[in-house]
Amino acid sequence: MFNNKEHGFKKFDEKVWLSSPTMHPESLAYMTEAYETNWMSTVGANINEIEALVCQKVGCHYAVALSAGTAALHMAMKLAGVQPGELVFCSDMTFDATVNPVVYEGGIPVFIDTEYDTWNMDPVALEKAFELYPEVKLVVVAHLYGTPGKIDEIKAICDTHGAKLIEDAAESFGATYKGKQTGLFGDYNVISFNGNKIITGSAGGVLLTDDLEAANKVRKWSTQSRENAPWYQHEELGYNYRMSNVIAGVVRGQLPYLEEHIAQKKAIYNRYQEGFKDLPVKMNPYDAKQSEPNFWLSCLLIDDEAMCKQVRGEQEVLYISEPGKTCPTEILEVLASFNAEGRPIWKPMHMQPIYRMNGFVTREGNGRAKTNAYISGGAVGQDNLPLDVGMDIFHRGLCLPSDNKMTVEQQEKIIQMVKACFE
């Protein structure tokens, strides 16, 4: 229970952000070059260069620069041939941009529960889902907060059932699994350069593939499907999805700093882990023998016995402060009151009103969670069904300020604030 009278914390003079862009002068130079040479549209040297640099970094054969990671995911759904009414297995605990492109093509997402080891798609639940829905031929998996999921197990399950795999590596650019970059495991893969990502162009994304024909299709679709004719000839539906050469200039200037950004983010994660070692909490986990995250966001999971009572509705939340206990809502409110930005864990897709009627599969094969409200230590829903993993992590977890411009002194103050919430 937080009591500032005992600690006398002062408000940060400047806001400590969750994850803001970290800019470098090269980006301005490349943007200026685009301006001065008048290559301001969706062609130019910056676009060509970042496609080459991303291929070199990730190890794929082809990269197509697009206006957003969401646009790249949409193009991936088209490549995978999603049809109206077709079921598609999707990560449950993720941002809805992972899932919405399935619906753009008329598909119906079926959500696969999360596992505690990595906070990503549970391979056991995925196998159970194929038992329940053997007709499914596409899986969309995201790597949460920059930590790779058990992607080799997931890919093996997909191969066994003849399903294609789309890898949403929007948050995990630069992360590796068994020495291999995320964004290489799927049939079609996606990274994002959104404003808060570890490399940013303020916007933008890239579709990754080893299939030249697929890359050429995306280049065509993303430029309004213009045919090779002397006039504007269109024979299939197109989209205005190509990346701007100006945005590409920002990304081009950032790409050489990827490893530096990852090192800074990892140092933030390690300082939190050391600072919280005596608290009843766990950091977002990863298996150091299997993977190396990019540590995009550092997150916290409060032990169940250290949770005060907290109930979340659709847009409101209530909690009751208790000595020696806290909850994500209290910690986030305290951080915000001192000008530091955190946020809740992604609310699982099966809990979202827009997708509440969609299928949801846990490792036990349960169909649906029965409620969105959960009180720590209590039962879930009127049928007393066991709590699903994604709901549990959402209930007990939060994202901490993870900006790589945050000073050590600022982070130490945040650590002390969190500690004070448990007093």
Q: What is the pLDDT of residue 375?
A: 37
Taking only the tens place, the pLDDT of each residue in 303-354 is: 999 999 999 999 999 999 999 999 999 999 999 999 999 999 999 999 999 9
The answer on 271 and 144 residing in a single domain is no
Is 355 inside any structural domain?
A: no
Q: What is the pLDDT of residue 120?
A: 98
- Which residue in the list 78, 150, 164, 197 is annotated as catalytic? 197
Out of 202, 226, 256, a domain closes at 256
How much is the average pLDDT of 399-416? 98
Rounded CA separation 364/43 (Å)? 50
The answer on 62 and 175 residing in a single domain is yes
- pLDDT over 50 at 381, yes or no: no
SS (H, E, C) 41-79: CCCCHHHHHHHHHHHHHHCCCEEEEECEHHHHHHHHHHH
Q: What is the pLDDT of residue 5?
A: 77
**CB-CB neighbours of 235 under 10 Å:** 9
Global model pTM greater than 0.85: yes
The answer on 207 and 288 residing in a single domain is no
- pLDDT over 70 at 382, yes or no: no
145 is in which domain, residue-wise?
A: 25-256
CATH number at residue 404: 3.90.1150.10
CA atoms within 13 A on the CB side of 192: 27
Is 314 inside any structural domain?
A: yes
Tell me the three state secondary structure of residue 401.
Answer: coil
The answer on 388 and 286 residing in a single domain is yes
The answer on 107 and 44 residing in a single domain is yes
* CB distance 126 to 112 below 8 Å: yes
Is 289 inside any structural domain?
A: yes
- Per the structure, the count of domains in the chain is 2
Instruction: Provide the token pair at 93.
Output: 């605990």
How much is the average pLDDT of 226-253? 97
The answer on 222 and 285 residing in a single domain is no
Is 354 inside any structural domain?
A: no
Q: What is the pLDDT of residue 65?
A: 98
Is 143 inside any structural domain?
A: yes
The answer on 273 and 223 residing in a single domain is no
220 noted as active-site residue: no
- Cα torsion through 15, 31, 169, 410, rounded to 10: -20
> Considering the chain, what is the average pLDDT of its residues?
94
The answer on 290 and 275 residing in a single domain is yes
Rounded CA separation 97/200 (Å)? 17
Is 377 inside any structural domain?
A: yes
The answer on 343 and 364 residing in a single domain is yes
Out of 241, 256, 271, a domain closes at 256
Q: What is the pLDDT of residue 344?
A: 97
The answer on 137 and 66 residing in a single domain is yes
pLDDT band of residue 374 (cuts 50, 70, 90) is very low
* CB distance 170 to 139 below 8 Å: no
Taking only the tens place, the pLDDT of each residue in 8-50 is: 899 999 999 999 999 999 999 999 999 999 999 999 999 999 9
CATH number at residue 226: 3.40.640.10
Query: Percent of the chain at pLDDT above 90?
Result: 92
The answer on 342 and 221 residing in a single domain is no
Is 129 inside any structural domain?
A: yes
Out of 256, 283, 315, a domain closes at 256
Is 57 inside any structural domain?
A: yes
How much is the average pLDDT of 259-264? 98
pLDDT band of residue 368 (cuts 50, 70, 90) is low
Q: What is the pLDDT of residue 378?
A: 35
The answer on 44 and 155 residing in a single domain is yes
- pLDDT over 90 at 383, yes or no: no
